[in-house]
Amino acid sequence: MIEPIDILISFIKVIMAMMWFLILALYLTWLERKESAVMQDRVGANRANIFGFRIIGIFQPFADAIKMFFKEDFTPKFSHKFLHNLAPFLSFYFVLVTIATIPFAGDIKIGEKVIKLQVLDLNIGILFVLAMLSLSVYGVLLSGWASNSRWTLLGGLRGAAQLVSYEVALGLSLVGLVMVYPSLKFSAIVESQGALLFGFLPKWGIVLQPLGFIVFFLAAMAESERVPFDLPEAESEIVGYFTEYSGLKWGLYMFTDFMKVLIIACLLTTLFFGGYQVPWLAADGFHFPWGGEWLMSNGLVVALQVLIFNLKVFFFCWLQILIRWTYPRFRYDQLMDFGWKLLIPLCLINIAITGIVMSFIK
């Protein structure tokens, strides 16, 4: 029996998670522009203002959005209208739904009610996210095919080949992790990361699965289709799958890119960096390994967890943008070599090592 209050809570959670996701993705465009500028000794976009207030260009994303809205939305005559229009929404949608499984913090207790700060605690969370990310490939394929132009077709083919081959590494790199924390459920994985190793080291994924982390990080970077893995888009010579898009639909693709960066940061945090876990912080406060204790109320603990989760996500966004603005692009054969000849063998080695170590410990 579902009570109306539960429905209301779920509804609020959905709205909150979506707002968090979309607004942060919007501001990621700003972060990218600013970070690349600071890296390259420039200042970056700082002119957009409201009533003369610039505040280091903080309104730039809105200016960009307005520009995108008022641009002509052009669908070429030779394209397949319906599919051409559908494709960006497919990509966007499938990336958007992944946020539902990410746990933002531990449980809040309000009176009798215990509320999970997670929209949907699926017991196949990891598989769900991987499946949705693979489904967003269809947006790429469709846009490449439905635009009916050779550049988009090339981009779409490259995109499909790249995404499908890195999908394998992405999935396999998580097998070791699933073996260590025997669960596919995000909340369970994060909870087991709160435990301690040898009595002081937080039992985070990075500690137990360093190789898995590296492979997952690289494969996920490739999934987000940004430089140095941006062959499907190839912004610099516009041989990408969204060559024929303009205005808002193009903006949607761009936005999906940033959402992917964000979701990858979320996944890295949740799976390998302890999610919302603060070292030595349990549900009732800090328990230090050297014996100290610092008890806190539930609300404070949750606030701290949300904060730390956001900080970790922010760090990984920063790292991804740093990588995007540091390296040149792979050649196509190097890209495929890298995926099939390096990452996938590494995944298999990782699984083997994990299995051997676990069999010794058990």
Does the protein bind another protein through residue 326 (CB under 8 A)? yes
- Chosen residue from 32, 35, 167, 223 binding another protein by CB under 8 A: 35
Report the residue number, 151 or 330, with the smaller CB distance to another protein: 330
Q: Closest distance between another protein and the C-beta of residue 28, in Å?
A: 16
Report the residue number, 74 or 327, with the smaller CB distance to another protein: 327
Report the residue number, 41 or 72, with the smaller CB distance to another protein: 41
Q: Report the alpha-carbon angle 330-335-339, nearest 5.
A: 145
Does the protein bind another protein through residue 349 (CB under 8 A)? no
DSSP of 27-42, one letter per residue?
Answer: HHHHHHHHHHHHHTT-
Q: Looking up tokens 């999934």, which residue turns up?
A: 223
User: Which of 243, 186, 215, 253 is CA-nearest to residue 341?
Assistant: 215
350, two tokens: 């990782």
Taking each helix axis from N to C end, the angle separating 4-39 and 60-70, rounded to the nearest 10 degrees, works out to 100
Q: Which of the stretches 36-44, 130-138, 198-206, 350-358 binds another protein when contact is defined by CB under 8 A?
A: 36-44
Does the protein bind another protein through residue 38 (CB under 8 A)? yes
d(CA 358, CA 362): 6
Does the protein bind another protein through residue 325 (CB under 8 A)? yes
Q: Closest distance between another protein and the C-beta of residue 322, in Å?
A: 6
d(CA 239, CA 232): 8
Q: Closest distance between another protein and the C-beta of residue 215, in Å?
A: 14
Report the residue number, 57 or 155, with the smaller CB distance to another protein: 57
Report the residue number, 39 or 311, with the smaller CB distance to another protein: 39
d(CA 181, CA 126): 12
42, two tokens: 């420039």
d(CA 140, CA 44): 30
Q: Closest distance between another protein and the C-beta of residue 33, in Å?
A: 13
What x-and-dash track marks residues 39-78 binding another protein by CB under 8 A? xxxxx-----------------------------------
How many residues touch another protein (CB under 8 A)?
Answer: 13
Beta strands in the chain (DSSP E): 105-110, 113-117, 196-197, 201-202, 281-282, 285-287, 293-295
Q: Closest distance between another protein and the C-beta of residue 38, in Å?
A: 5
DSSP of 317-348, one letter per residue?
Answer: HHHHHHHHTTPPPPPHHHHHHIIIIIIHHHHH
Does the protein bind another protein through residue 334 (CB under 8 A)? no
Report the residue number, 40 or 359, with the smaller CB distance to another protein: 40
Q: Closest distance between another protein and the C-beta of residue 43, in Å?
A: 4
Cα 115 to the center of its chain, rounded Å? 24
Binding site for another protein (CB under 8 A): 35, 37-43, 322-323, 325-327
